[in-house]
Structure 1
């Protein structure tokens, strides 16, 4: 008899995405657990069409508490955790069925976050690998997390926000975590979701609470810094990243992000030092070189900026943001043909790149090539990322 899988979800006002999520895994799971934390839309109506078992949880500013309540309702041999704005490709379901036949193993997935913002760290352009799930989004970035694990083993979520089960799994001697080549397709960073949801109002205060509760946890400060940065609070982000580095000076991403926010607050010398620290940790850190190039641009040193953008591109030939910034720097140096080539290279990697089209159109406008300028400027307007999806 095949092992039974319980899908466990916490939900609030997810009518736009819930049906897609449940349809994607309906053939895989034997039980759907929905824990609602206060929906006022059609979420529960949609859940009922999938014969979901619905439970209610009074929100208490603690994602782990809600998650763990959902786990306690599961009766299956395995627990699979998804958010409503996530989905699994149909082509991956057979592999998951096979994997749950194993013993004493938990599974880590790649979470593919779709986005229209090529400036985000680790942005990669979509290549048509999952045409139905990629939709019209130009790219994504990825992270790892454990979402499939045996039931009745004492596994629990920890952390008021950015909650994870990994630490609890590590404390159970006979369990191990294995990485799967399976993507969880996540739409929480897409323009339409960001327009509708105001996560900052919830996430930032919870992040602050987490650092107070776990003052020696470098990752809590890192997560808070990312949250502040994403919401334009650069000064607060810099303070959080600095505290994180005081606790753990060896985490590459903290130095990269710290360098970025220092640049955004015009602390250029400090930004350069932070980014050099990142490069010292990882000599081929393309993001550190790209951020360093932006610092040089802000200082008006476009020749040095060109050098480091080229370095970043040599490391990562699909680095759209580096190509765009290289184009800007070359244009400022009067090297217009090379600048145009940089923008064309960006468009080869990401045909919907609005900033490359707009800057290329402006470049043609300045040089008097009005027909070409009009073509790219009109195309940029049509491909505005706010209209993606």
Structure 2
């Protein structure tokens, strides 16, 4: 029966702002404040195109928190505009020009709130973060908040600058993987009293980088075209070398991708989050080339960067998987333990730690982490399957069969042929 280590794919976004402060506890309201009443004027700014399927869920997630919704439509042909207006949004049209920053900045022009929150249609605001957001918005010296975005599926979380004061000098730059960080850095250099705060806890849940979405040829082609045009004018920009290099690797073009990533490392004044991603993507490429020594070097360099611990989950997880494949079980265990220490709700980390502990002969520990992974992700078919294996080795036949049945049902639900294969194997073993 197979065992699968869960590895993270390439990273698609992160912030590179210097961290000045961290908010780790929720705001305690006085009895005079309702928890659903906004304490500050807050504008939600969005750009959309043909998002009628996703937009309602996004806008419902901010209901009662934001004071206004500004939507810039870049050419929808479905019911997106009508849906936005039904939620009370002010909708403006923008002629698409292959520049996400231009569209984002168009939305900022119409914002009237003191603060701006930026979301995409395939994202939702996590309600538990609202008190912490309100607390940060009341602080006089806070300029921008970096928010932890959790990806749907096996993708690493990322820190993104999505909540900031409404100032004319805070604007998005770069045509793809756009961000406000460049303008924020300029302000911090001129006005050092301002603070950049990182909010504790997941703030945004994002579903846009699932395998089906990122595999769409049109989306990949658009991303590549926009970034290649920018690279032509900025050949040594470490940020675009990183993003485009990762895209090449994601598409299987390892030579060009690795050349860009190495070029990015050689650039001057590379910010730590970008350095992290450059090393992370190079490690992934070397792993695909079956060059583990180079892969381990770059995973280690990635984890050494002075960035948020949450942003390092991908490197620790993939480094652990590489070490386990090489038979270095103590090293793999240390990496996976680091991952679940950083984020106790990281289901793939618990699963991979369970696999490692099982290989080390610690069935009790393996079972505990498989069960933790299942508790965090009840549709985790591989965790149920490996839990069944561990329970069977312990002689807990009935519990094992129950776990296997759950695994079979989930594999079939997910359309995986592993369900049929596992079912046949268990019949041959007379367990079904």
Distance 1:114 1:288, change over 3 A: closer
5 Å matches for 1:247-326? 247=267, 248=270, 251-278=275-302, 288=315, 290-298=317-325, 301-302=326-327, 304=328, 306-317=329-340, 318=344, 320-321=347-348, 324-325=351-352
What CA deviation, in whole Å up to 9, does each residue of 1:199-253 have, x standing for no partner? 4333233333333332222122222233344555555443332222222496234
Distance 1:385 1:73 in 2: 48
The alignment partner of 1:145 has SS state of strand
| Residue 263 of structure 2, aligned match among 230, 243, 254 | 243
Q: CA deviation at 1:46?
A: 0.6
The answer as to 2:93 corresponding to 1:56 is yes
1:307 and 1:46, CA in 2 relative to 1: closer, same or farther beyond 3 A? same
Cα separation, partners in 2 of 1:243 and 1:350, compared to 1, 3 Å: farther
Q: Tell me, yes or no, if structure 1 residue 169 matches structure 2 residue 187.
A: no
Give me the whole-angstrom Cα distance separating, in 2, the residues matched to 1:361 and 1:373: 4
1:197 and 1:185 mapped to 2: Cα distance? 24
Once the 2 structures are TM-superposed, how far is the Cα of residue 288 of structure 1 from its aligned partner? 4.8
Superposition CA RMSD, Å: 4.0
| Residues 1-389 of structure 1 mapped to structure 2, 5 A cutoff | 4-90=41-127, 92-93=129-130, 96=133, 100=137, 105-117=142-154, 120-121=155-156, 141-151=157-167, 153-172=168-187, 173-174=190-191, 176-179=194-197, 180-181=199-200, 183-189=203-209, 199-231=219-251, 233-247=253-267, 248=270, 251-278=275-302, 288=315, 290-298=317-325, 301-302=326-327, 304=328, 306-317=329-340, 318=344, 320-321=347-348, 324-325=351-352, 337-338=361-362, 341-342=365-366, 344-351=368-375, 352=378, 353-361=380-388, 374-384=401-411
Contact 2:153–2:210, Cα closer than 8 Å, also in 1: yes
- Whether contact under 8 Å (1:113, 1:188) holds in the other structure is no
8 A Cα contact 1:31 1:52, kept in partner: yes
| Number of aligned positions between the proteins | 358
Equivalent residue number for residue 15 of structure 2: none
- TM-score, reference length from structure 2: 0.68
Distance 2:45 2:73 in 1: 11
C-alpha distance in structure 1 between counterparts of 2:148 and 2:362, whole Å: 36
Q: 2:367 touches 2:391 (CA, 8 Å); kept in 1?
A: no
**Structure 1 residue 110: deviation in Å?**
1.5
5+ residue gaps in structure 1?
122-140
Structure 1's 297 and 5: CA in aligned 2 closer, same or farther, altered over 3 A? Answer: closer
TM-aligned CA deviation for residue 47 of structure 1: 0.9
Structure 2 Cα separation of the partners of residues 385 and 178 of structure 1: 46
Farther-moved stretch of structure 1 (362-371 vs 75-84):
362-371
CA distance in 2, matches of 1:368, 1:195: 43
SS in 1 for 2:362: helix
Q: Contact 1:13–1:43 at 8 Å: present in 2 too?
A: yes
Contact kept, 8 Å, 1:28 with 1:97, in 2: the verdict is no
SS at match of 2:265: helix
Q: Distance in 2 between matches of 1:99 and 1:273?
A: 38
The whole-number CA distance in structure 2 between the counterparts of 1:69 and 1:279 is 37
5+ residue gaps in structure 2?
1-38, 416-432
Give the direction of change, closer, same or farther, for the CA distance of 1:243–1:144 in structure 2 (3 Å limit). Answer: same
After TM superposition, give the deviation of residue 176 of structure 1 in Å. Answer: 2.7
Q: In structure 1, the residue corresponding to 2:76 is in which secondary structure?
A: coil
Native 8 Å contact 2:49 2:76 kept in 1: yes
TM-score (norm 1): 0.75
Deviations, residues 323-381 of structure 1 (Å, cap 9, x unaligned): 545655677x6x6x536742541331443332232344466789998755543333224
Contact map agreement 2:72 2:94 (CA 8 A) in 1: yes
In 2, Cα distance between equivalents of 1:27 and 1:286 = 33
Q: 1:5 to 1:385 in 2, by over 3 A?
A: farther
